[in-house]
């Protein structure tokens, strides 16, 4: 993989090292998760980013990495930011490798005119049935892993967001729109010979892209094929919950899950690189 000089990654908390933030505590609300890992496994990290599989993979390959993943992020955000990154780094396009996690389609990528910045509107539906439009909660995120993670809608001029969601948003329509955006962006990458893989995120199983055959992750571990990182960490019992002996019920991938996933990705990319 001598052509890979820069990895770009985007996704949600699973790709961002969610649950391994420096300020995150166990269920007792006083023991830091990072301290538990230090005392139990003698491992340590100075930044959340360095524990992620994308940074681990870059270290294995010996290249640079940019990880724009964020807790609460959705597929629309991943596509938008990845496109902007490719255009900004166009002179280096032949040395890029993109890893895109495609999280829940209920995480909307919206622009706030008041903030002059993007926010994510998370819609929590009452069921996983795409015919069911009823929801029980809305919240917006912009800054992550801080005390201001959840923004009061009234503070960003979004008083009528509830009206918008109830009248101008459809789960099925959103799904179709995201697939159009995804396939358009991936076609753009293919046309310009830019290498990439993508995988499914939580609550987004079965995403229907024309690029599934060659470019969607199909990682074989023993007798099972994995198309997402979260399920891999659950099945291999390497979530934060299990790493901490259930002192927290956080099911985000744990410290060692990121390491193992990076090692498996390295082998997978080496084997499949010419077909991407």
- 54-69 confidence digits (pLDDT tens): 999 999 999 999 999 9
Domains detected in the chain: 6-104+171-275 (3.40.50.1110)
User: What's the chain's length in residues?
Assistant: 276
Residue 179's pLDDT band, with cuts at 50, 70 and 90, is confident
Between CA 165 and CA 250, with CA 78 as vertex, the angle to 5 degrees is: 80
Query: Is the pLDDT reported for residue 4 higher than 80?
Result: yes
Model confidence, pTM: 0.91
Q: Rounded to an integer, what distance in angstroms lies between the CA atom of residue 141 and that of residue 152?
A: 9
On the question of pLDDT at 2 being above 70, the answer is: no
Please give the share of the chain, as a percent, with pLDDT higher than 70: 89
Q: Which of 137-141, 143-147, 196-200 has the lowest mean pLDDT?
A: 143-147
| pLDDT tens digits, one per residue of 239-270 | 999 999 999 999 999 999 999 999 999 999 99
């Amino acid at each position: 993989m001598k052509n890979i000089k820069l990895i770009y990654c985007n996704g949600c908390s699973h790709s961002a090292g969610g649950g391994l933030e420096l300020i995150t505590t166990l269920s007792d609300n006083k023991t830091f998760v990072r301290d538990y890992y230090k005392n139990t496994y003698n491992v340590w990290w100075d930044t959340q980013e360095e524990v992620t599989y994308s940074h681990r993979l870059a270290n294995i390959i010996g290249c640079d990495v940019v990880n724009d993943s964020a807790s609460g992020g959705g597929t629309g955000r991943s596509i938008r930011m990845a496109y902007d990154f490719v255009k900004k780094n166009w002179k280096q396009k032949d040395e890029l490798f993109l890893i895109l996690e495609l999280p829940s389609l209920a995480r909307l990528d919206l622009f706030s005119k008041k903030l002059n910045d993007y926010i994510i509107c998370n819609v929590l539906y009452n069921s996983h049935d795409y015919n069911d439009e009823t929801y029980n909660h809305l919240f917006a995120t912009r800054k992550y892993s801080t005390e201001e993670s959840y923004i009061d809608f009234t503070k960003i001029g979004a008083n009528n967001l509830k009206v918008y969601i109830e009248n101008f948003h459809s789960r099925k329509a959103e799904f179709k729109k995201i697939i159009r955006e995804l396939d358009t962006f991936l076609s753009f990458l293919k046309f310009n010979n830019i290498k990439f893989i993508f995988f499914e995120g939580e609550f987004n199983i079965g995403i229907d892209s024309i690029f599934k055959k060659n470019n969607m992750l199909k990682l074989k571990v023993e007798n099972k094929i994995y198309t997402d990182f979260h399920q891999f960490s659950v099945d291999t019992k390497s979530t934060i919950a299990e790493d901490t002996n259930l002192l927290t019920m956080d099911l985000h991938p744990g410290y060692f899950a990121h390491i193992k996933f990076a090692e498996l990705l390295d082998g997978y990319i080496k084997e499949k690189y010419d077909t991407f």
